[in-house]
Amino acid sequence: MEYKHYSVLLNEAIEYLNIKPNGIYVDCTLGGGGHSSEILKRLQGGHLYSFDQDDYAIERATDRLSKISNSFTIIKSNFKDIKSALNSYGVEHIDGVLYDLGVSSFQLDIPERGFSYRYDAPLDMRMDQGKPLTAEIVVNEYSFQELFTIFQRYGEEPFAKQIARKIEEVRKTKRIQTTFELVDVIKSALPQKVLNKKGHPAKQVFQALRIAVNDELRVFEDSLNDALNMLNPKGRCVVISFQSLEDRICKTIFKERSTINIPEGLPIVVKDLAPFELITRHPILPSEAELDENLRSHSAKMRVIEKR
């Protein structure tokens, strides 16, 4: 069965990358190949390097990109390795880099991947299925305190303590092995007034587990800093995020890189500019037309920075 992938903010991302035909570009999140395809179409003499750790994504995207051009290289790796992986290809500087964070549409739609609370499947949530740590291991073997911290920090879940306690209680009698089993445990820990609210009650816990299993926030922060260091002058970095924790990391790093901090009160005339310039002062959001076409784009935010 073919699973579709929808590239959020596709036109906006390509426009803001300001692609030079002979440039070196990096798509840190290949996914279904939507962004990579549009970058590749605009290259003449340039080259595209795309990262993904998902075999299904790589197989599909390779077929898609091959129909456009052979000026691309797919790197099966987490984008935390952006610097070392590109260096191994002799690439030390790049002209643009794109991050489309979160989970690919087809990862959510393939039930057995265990990312979604809408399908009954084993609790997996690994983006790289060669890695040993799964959501099932986290749920059944992490301590109450570790679960509480994960749900609170990565899911911003107001009932983190109650859910962690309920998981601790249930797993004394049996392992929680499937997504629906976990959903039932989560629901049983929540008051009725929360269950009656709009939105799925397990959404924030599932997000938190996915982030923990894949170490997403630390990986993104490290990778983004490396990517910015590799940019050529006038090179741009485009980041599309889907939840507040990722966006906060991006916003903070972009601000640090585009600001010169001078202690207040010192009689100093600042002549030097910060090494980077914010291209977007405020995040770019999906259009009404895109929101109508793809519900999953509703939380997307895009930020752009350029090296001076």
Ranking 4-18, 102-116, 237-251 by mean pLDDT, the lowest is 102-116
Q: Which residues of 269-280 are buried (b: 16+ CB within 10 A; e: fewer)?
A: eeeeeeebbbbb
Question: Is pLDDT at 13 greater than 70 in this prediction?
Answer: yes
Residue type, 293: E
Residue 292 lies in a domain: yes
Task: Looking at the structure, tell me whether residues 270 and 287 fall in a common domain.
Answer: yes
Task: Looking at the structure, tell me whether residues 208 and 226 fall in a common domain.
Answer: no
* pLDDT tens-place string over residues 231-265: 999 999 999 999 999 999 999 999 999 998 665 65
Residue 279 lies in a domain: yes
Question: Is pLDDT at 1 greater than 50 in this prediction?
Answer: no
Q: How many domains does the chain have?
A: 2
* pLDDT tens-place string over residues 152-188: 999 999 999 999 999 999 999 999 999 999 999 999 9
> Encoding tokens for residue 44?
């003449």
Task: Looking at the structure, tell me whether residues 133 and 152 fall in a common domain.
Answer: yes
- What pLDDT is recorded for position 265? 58
The enclosing domain of 85 has a CATH number of 3.40.50.150
- Write the CA distances from 193 to 117, 182, 187, integer angstroms: 20, 20, 11
Task: Looking at the structure, tell me whether residues 172 and 224 fall in a common domain.
Answer: no
| Average of per-residue pLDDT across 24-31 | 96
Task: Looking at the structure, tell me whether residues 115 and 258 fall in a common domain.
Answer: no
- What pLDDT is recorded for position 263? 58
Q: How confident is the model at residue 3 (pLDDT cuts 50, 70, 90)?
A: very low
Range of the structural domain that residue 236 is part of: 10-100+216-307
Task: Looking at the structure, tell me whether residues 231 and 205 fall in a common domain.
Answer: no
* pLDDT tens-place string over residues 124-162: 999 888 899 999 999 999 999 999 999 999 999 999 999
Residue 1 lies in a domain: no
Task: Looking at the structure, tell me whether residues 19 and 38 fall in a common domain.
Answer: yes
| Average of per-residue pLDDT across 100-123 | 79
Task: Looking at the structure, tell me whether residues 29 and 75 fall in a common domain.
Answer: yes
Q: How confident is the model at residue 14 (pLDDT cuts 50, 70, 90)?
A: very high
Q: How far apart are CA 176 and CA 135, in angstroms?
A: 10
Task: Looking at the structure, tell me whether residues 207 and 116 fall in a common domain.
Answer: yes
Question: Is pLDDT at 195 greater than 50 in this prediction?
Answer: yes
Segments of 77-154 assigned E as strands: 94-100
Task: Looking at the structure, tell me whether residues 92 and 240 fall in a common domain.
Answer: yes
Question: Is pLDDT at 38 greater than 60 in this prediction?
Answer: yes
Task: Looking at the structure, tell me whether residues 177 and 230 fall in a common domain.
Answer: no
User: Residue 17: in which H helix or E strand, if any?
Assistant: helix 10-17
Ranking 11-20, 41-50, 123-132 by mean pLDDT, the lowest is 123-132
- What pLDDT is recorded for position 284? 96
> CB 299: neighbour CB atoms within 10 A?
15
The enclosing domain of 164 has a CATH number of 1.10.150.170
Q: How confident is the model at residue 106 (pLDDT cuts 50, 70, 90)?
A: low
